[in-house]
């Protein structure tokens, strides 16, 4: 027998890309603004049909910005969040292959500077039917490797979206990292192009708008006492 709560909560059938854009549009700051202001986008076969369709559909609820180069679009996103003192951020999406690896330098830039950016890099087919798809890197000894593995050392959170429902955990983890003052940095969601287009019955509750407050951790009492003592004892030489 179903529990009452489950009976009451409905589902909504959306592609994974539609679910991602809808979810991102409802992640808010304490000041009531979208945390992810918009999405810088250059389309290729790895994101045009899935993410491209979803961005068009969501319109001004998550605006799309068309730039000239994936790296420099990400530079704009990085400067935006630095100019906002990390209180808001932007996303950048690319196709698979060169568009994605163009973003790796910018990911490192954000990583070093502790700045939040959401990289949504298209990836090769999860179902491997056209393997190797155009622009696919082939590893002779490891079937799970793609060009997007280049992001791993230069982001604070990496996830590989090979099933639509992975977004249920991946997206909250992405926002957690971007709004955590200590762990703050870039996130890469490596989003397989076929998965972007697959439909799933999403719990409606997933899309309830959520507010992300940036916390202010209090000092430890002993550390505070020790540092106060050091300052009182200090003398210029």
Partner 1 sequence: MIVCGGGVIYSGAEAALTEFAERHNIPVIETQAGKSALAQAHEMNYGAAGVDGSAAANRIAAKADLVIGVGTRLQDFTTGSRTLFGEAKLVGINVQSYDAAKHGAVSLVADAKVALEKLSAKLSDYRADAADPQARAEWLAAVDAHCAAPAGGNELPTDAQVIGAVQRASTPASIAMCAAGTMPGALKLLWQAAQGGYHMEYGYSCMGYEIAGAMGLKLAQPDREVLCFVGDGSYMMANSELATAVMRRIPFTVILTDNRGYGCINRLQQGCGGEAFNNLYADCNVEAQPQIDFVAHAASMGAHAVKAAGIPDLEAQIAAARGRDIPTVIVIDTTAAPGPGDGLEAAGHWWDVAVPEVGDSEKLKRAYAEYLDHAARQSLVN
Contacts to partner 1 by CB under 8 A: 37, 65-69, 71-73, 75-86, 88, 90, 105-106, 108-109, 112-114, 181-184, 215-220, 223-228, 230-232, 234-237
> What is the spatial distance between Cα 214 and Cα 29, in angstroms, rounded to a whole number?
9
In whole angstroms, how close is the CB of 106 to partner 1 at the nearest point?
A: 8
If DSSP codes are grouped into helix, strand and coil, which group holds residue 218? coil
CB of 42 to partner 1, least distance (A): 11
Q: Where are the beta strands (DSSP E) in the chain?
A: 11-15, 27-29, 36-41, 64-66, 89-94, 118-123, 157-161, 187-192, 199-203, 210-212
Cβ proximity to partner 1: between 7 and 223 the closer is 223
* Cβ 61 to partner 1 shortest distance, Å: 18
Residue nearer to partner 1 on the CB measure, 37 or 159: 37
Of 82 and 166, CB closest to partner 1: 82
CB of 142 to partner 1, least distance (A): 29
Compute the least distance from the CB of residue 51 to partner 1, in Å.
Answer: 19
94 near 71, Cβ under 8 Å? no
Angstrom distance (rounded) from CA 197 to CA 169: 18
Our CB check for partner 1 shows the closer of 72 and 197 to be 72
What is the C-alpha to C-alpha distance for residues 126 and 148, in angstroms, rounded to an integer?
A: 13
Nearer to partner 1, 28 or 76 (CB): 76
How far, in Å, CA of 41 to CA of 52, rounded?
8
């Amino acid at each position: 027998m179903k529990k009452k709560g489950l009976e009451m909560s409905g589902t909504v059938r959306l592609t994974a890309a539609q679910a991602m854009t809808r979810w991102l549009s409802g992640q808010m700051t304490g000041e009531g603004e979208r945390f992810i202001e918009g999405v810088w986008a250059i389309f290729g076969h790895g994101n045009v049909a899935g993410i491209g369709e979803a961005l068009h559909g969501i319109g001004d609820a998550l605006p799309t910005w068309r730039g000239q180069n994936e790296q420099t679009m990400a530079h704009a996103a990085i400067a935006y969040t630095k100019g906002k003192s990390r209180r808001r951020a932007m996303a950048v999406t690319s196709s698979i292959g060169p568009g994605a690896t163009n973003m790796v330098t910018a990911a490192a830039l954000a990583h070093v500077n502790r700045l939040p950016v959401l990289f949504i890099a298209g990836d090769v087919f999860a179902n491997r039917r056209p393997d190797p798809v155009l622009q696919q890197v082939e590893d002779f000894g490891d079937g799970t490797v793609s060009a997007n593995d280049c992001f791993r050392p230069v982001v604070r959170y990496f996830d590989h979206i090979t099933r639509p429902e992975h977004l249920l955990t991946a997206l909250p983890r992405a926002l957690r990292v971007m709004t955590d003052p200590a762990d703050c940095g870039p996130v890469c969601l490596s989003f397989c192009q076929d998965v972007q287009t697959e439909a799933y019955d999403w719990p409606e509750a997933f899309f309830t708008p959520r507010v992300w407050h940036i916390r202010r951790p209090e000092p430890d009492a002993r550390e505070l006492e020790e540092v106060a003592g050091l300052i009182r004892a200090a003398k210029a030489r």
